[in-house]
């Protein structure tokens, strides 16, 4: 069966933004106007099919990204297929944004028009930069008090890019917002009917003519500057048609040189249809992108796949989800080739073959079975046994490994303890399933103490995991207080010997090694270097030594936190013909590492968070004072209307309970967002308290 929509008529896009900017509302309005859903709902949170998780509905926020597909026919064009992923804004779920951006070709960045660029909009913008994802901007909530055209543009150009360019200007603002002016057509657009479904084109209002002309000129100048043919025409004073301008803007947007800006208010149902047109007009189709690069797992050489159905299959599994009804769902994006139901594909990371029993097109938590999938499709399948997030699925005759997805490390943990013996077993299974879904969720069980610590991106992240464990897996557990995921590292270089020798009658034990440790840069991880020459230690014992070293690193030497960012070189030692064993060398490796790390001035590291606090002016002093008491370093303060915005860096350990404290400090009017920034050395006096167990 051939494909229905040619590649040029497909869009794979994500909706990204700061928390609560209106991403899910944007997605829902798009689904409404394209006929995929039949009501927008009250716009109250928790009523859209996209936020289907109970945890989402209760907390009124998106937690998991939702994939859906819809169709749109712009005026005078054929119908297009738009695959949309609505992402969460809360930073605890940043992995959902990260993996979505990895497989999407374009994004709509939604802004809260009353607030300008907010901190997490900046974060997702940088994430999109990293993946080179073309974007259009949608400034929503232009009905809100303080919503202002210039303020928003100014904030975009200061915080994100100088290359954002309005393609519309709003008509009025705040409660007087009544539509937008299309600067290419030079027409006023009005949205009538209960859901804004009746789109009317009118003349540009007299009082906005000059402003519209001025911005049209800026828009045209930006577009022609990106295209030599258009530039020549422009300089010669020749007429450039709207179609030519659109084509020019499309090219510049696809190459991330320009970012078109649209305006509206979903609350007033203003601006949706032109935004859907913009997705089609300006964001890339899979055919606009360069071939995807990967490596041949056999030769390690770089290989490419063109986005065509006739190429060998290459697809990236970007998300795993446990569905109580169908089992494990694996979401994937097909980059090249096509996939038939019932066929086998190679997982080029595990080297195993997987059967594609079903091919599903997802609409949030609903699904439709398909017979085939094609290049450019975002689909799911069920029952894959051995495929995890970031694995490549491909044609076994033309294997390829696509670039993996990288995720941030957890910074916060809690101890959990099953309530009963029955819970204990179920808890193990539940945690394993949840960790398969979520690469930013980690489990650590200490065999000696029997303790389990789960760690993640923030308090909310762990709260959701524990809630899902209870509801979906029926596991009851006692949960400890959140604790910081400290790490340890070394500041200097040192050498140390590790000896494990027991030779008193019968077969003894003999392991003896010398290690040299050196610090590595932050984030560089661990490296084991084998410098043994001439069989001073036989080859077969070296992996055991490395294992011993790694086990010791996991336990740490300062306060029981894992050692990171260092190298350990094995450069000397000795062995005994009869008494040497893997076990003895493992213990020797572990002893040597512990001693070497202690000699190399081991220290504690703590996560430092980037914090943005917004408070009414009158609470500014108190908020600053409170941050200083929390060891915060203020980096910048700004004014917006009668609000103060404070940007700072604060250790995570000082931030527990901050929400409550800010609320009482500001009579409930302060807000904040926080995200992990980097690890830093814990000041000596505080490190001492942690080591002595005095600090909770
Ligand atoms: N005033 C006003 N409020 C709006 C508008 N659009 C959406 N909202 C409200 O903003 C809130 C957030 O909307 P959502 O669409 O859930 O935001 P989101 O970006 O998906 O939020 P997260 O997924 O939790 O990050 C809801 O209460 C909406 O009713 C608008 O145009 N004007
Ligand atoms: Mg949402």
List, for residues 213-252, the tens digit of each pLDDT value: 999 999 999 999 999 999 999 999 999 999 999 999 999 9
Q: How does residue 172 score in pLDDT terms, banded at 50, 70 and 90?
A: very high
Asked if 519 and 566 touch (Cβ cutoff 8 Å), the reply is yes
Query: What pLDDT is attached to residue 291?
Result: 94
Average pLDDT over residues 262-272: 95
* Ligand 1 binding pocket mutation candidate from 22, 60, 92, 111 (most atoms within 8 A of CB): 22
pTM to 2 decimal places: 0.86
Cα of 24 from ligand 1 centre, angstroms: 7
- 114 touches ligand 1 (CB under 6 Å): no
Cα of 200 from ligand 2 centre, angstroms: 29
Q: How does residue 639 score in pLDDT terms, banded at 50, 70 and 90?
A: confident
* Ligand 1 binding pocket mutation candidate from 25, 89, 92, 118 (most atoms within 8 A of CB): 25
Q: Which residue is associated with the tokens 């008491």?
A: 629
Q: What is the pLDDT of residues 148-164, one digit of tens each?
A: 999 999 999 999 999 99
CA distances from 185 to 153, 172, 182, 204, 242 (A): 21, 19, 6, 10, 7
- 177 touches ligand 1 (CB under 6 Å): no
- 43 touches ligand 1 (CB under 6 Å): yes
Residue 42 in this model has a pLDDT that exceeds 70? no
Average pLDDT over residues 120-143: 94
| Helix 272-282 × helix 242-254 angle, to 10° | 70
Residue 81 in this model has a pLDDT that exceeds 50? yes
Query: What pLDDT is attached to residue 43?
Result: 46
Query: What pLDDT is attached to residue 46?
Result: 52
Task: Give SS3 for 675.
Answer: strand
User: By alpha-carbon position, which residue is closest to atom 7 of ligand 1?
Assistant: 22
355-359, 500-504, 570-574: least confident range: 500-504
What is the rounded CA–CA span in Å between residue 517 and residue 623?
Answer: 44
Cα of first residue to Cα of last residue in the chain, in angstroms, is 63
Residue 500 in this model has a pLDDT that exceeds 90? yes
What is the rounded CA–CA span in Å between residue 182 and residue 190?
Answer: 11
Q: What are phi and psi of 233, to 5 degrees?
A: -55, -45
Name the strand (E) or helix (H) holding 451. Answer: none
- Averaged confidence pLDDT in the chain: 92
- Ligand of minimum distance to the alpha carbon of 16: 1
- 118 touches ligand 1 (CB under 6 Å): no
Cα of 32 from ligand 2 centre, angstroms: 16
Distance of CA 237 to the CA centre of its chain: 46
Cα of 551 from ligand 2 centre, angstroms: 41
Task: Determine the atom of ligand 1 nearest the C-alpha atom of 270.
Answer: 31
* Ligand 1 binding pocket mutation candidate from 17, 43, 107, 460 (most atoms within 8 A of CB): 43
What is the rounded CA–CA span in Å between residue 53 and residue 41?
Answer: 17
């Amino acid at each position: 069966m051939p494909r229905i929509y040619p590649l040029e008529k497909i869009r794979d896009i994500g909706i990204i933004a700061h928390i609560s900017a209106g991403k899910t509302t944007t997605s829902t309005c798009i689904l409404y106007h394209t006929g995929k859903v039949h009501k927008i709902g009250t716009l109250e949170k928790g009523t859209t099919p996209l936020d289907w998780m109970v945890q989402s509905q209760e907390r009124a926020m998106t937690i998991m990204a939702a994939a859906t597909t819809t169709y749109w026919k712009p005026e005078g064009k054929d119908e297009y297929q738009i695959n949309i992923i609505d992402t969460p804004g809360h930073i605890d779920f940043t992995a959902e944004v990260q993996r979505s951006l990895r497989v999407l070709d374009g994004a709509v960045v939604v802004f809260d028009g009353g607030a300008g660029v907010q901190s997490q909009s900046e974060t997702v913008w940088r994430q999109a930069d990293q993946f080179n994802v073309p974007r259009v901007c949608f400034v929503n909530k232009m009905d809100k008090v303080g919503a202002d055209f210039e303020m928003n543009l100014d904030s975009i150009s200061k915080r994100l890019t100088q290359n954002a360019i309005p393609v519309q200007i709003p008509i009025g603002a705040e409660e007087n917002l009544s539509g937008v002016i299309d600067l290419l057509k030079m027409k006023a657009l009005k949205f009538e009917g209960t859901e804004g479904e009746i789109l009317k084109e009118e003349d540009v209002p007299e009082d906005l003519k000059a402003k519209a002309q001025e911005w049209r000129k800026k828009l045209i100048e930006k577009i022609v500057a990106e295209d030599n043919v258009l530039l020549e025409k422009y300089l010669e004073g020749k007429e450039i048609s709207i179609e030519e301008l659109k084509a020019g803007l499309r090219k510049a947007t696809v190459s991330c040189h320009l970012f078109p800006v649209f305006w509206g208010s979903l609350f007033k149902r203003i601006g949706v249809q032109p935004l859907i047109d913009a997705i089609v007009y300006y964001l890339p189709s899979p055919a606009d992108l360069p071939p995807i690069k990967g490596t041949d797992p056999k030769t390690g050489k770089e290989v490419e796949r063109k986005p065509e159905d006739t190429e060998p299959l290459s697809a990236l599994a970007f998300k795993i989800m446990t569905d109580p009804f169908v089992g494990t769902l694996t979401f994937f994006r097909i980059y090249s080739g096509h996939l038939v139901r019932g066929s086998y594909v190679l997982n080029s990371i595990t080297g195993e073959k997987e059967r594609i029993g079903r091919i599903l097109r997802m609409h949030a938590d609903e699904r439709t079975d398909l017979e085939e999938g094609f290049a450019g499709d975002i689909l799911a399948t069920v029952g894959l046994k051995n495929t995890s997030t970031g694995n490549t699925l491909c044609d076994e005759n033309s294997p390829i490994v696509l670039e993996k997805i990288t995720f941030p490390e957890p910074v916060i943990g809690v101890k959990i303890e099953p309530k009963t013996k029955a819970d204990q077993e179920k808890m193990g299974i539940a945690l394993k399933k949840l960790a398969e879904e979520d690469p930013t969720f980690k489990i650590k069980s200490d065999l000696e103490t029997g303790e389990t610590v789960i760690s993640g991106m923030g308090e909310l992240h762990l709260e959701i995991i524990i809630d899902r464990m209870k509801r979906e897996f029926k596991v009851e557990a006692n949960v400890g207080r959140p604790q910081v995921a400290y790490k340890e590292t070394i500041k200097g270089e040192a050498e140390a010997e590790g000896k494990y020798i027991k030779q008193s009658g019968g077969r003894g034990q003999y392991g003896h090694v010398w290690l040299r440790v050196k610090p590595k840069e932050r984030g560089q991880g661990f490296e084991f270097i084998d410098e043994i020459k001439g069989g001073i230690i036989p080859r077969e014992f070296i992996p055991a030594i490395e294992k011993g070293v790694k086990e010791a690193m996991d336990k740490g030497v300062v306060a029981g936190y894992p050692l990171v960012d260092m190298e350990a070189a094995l450069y000397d030692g000795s062995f005994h013909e009869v008494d040497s064993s893997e076990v003895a060398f493992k213990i020797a490796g572990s002893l040597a590492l512990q001693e070497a790390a202690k000699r190399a001035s081991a220290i504690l590291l703590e996560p430092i968070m980037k914090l943005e606090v917004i408070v009414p002016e009158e609470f500014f002093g108190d908020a600053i004072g409170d941050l200083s008491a929390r060891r915060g370093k203020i980096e910048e303060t700004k004014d917006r209307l009668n609000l103060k915005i404070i940007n700072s860096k604060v250790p995570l350990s000082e931030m527990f309970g901050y929400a409550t404290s800010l609320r009482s400090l500001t009579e409930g009017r302060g807000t904040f967002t926080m995200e992990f920034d980097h690890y830093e050395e814990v000041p000596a006096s505080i490190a001492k308290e942690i080591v002595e167990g005095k600090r909770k």
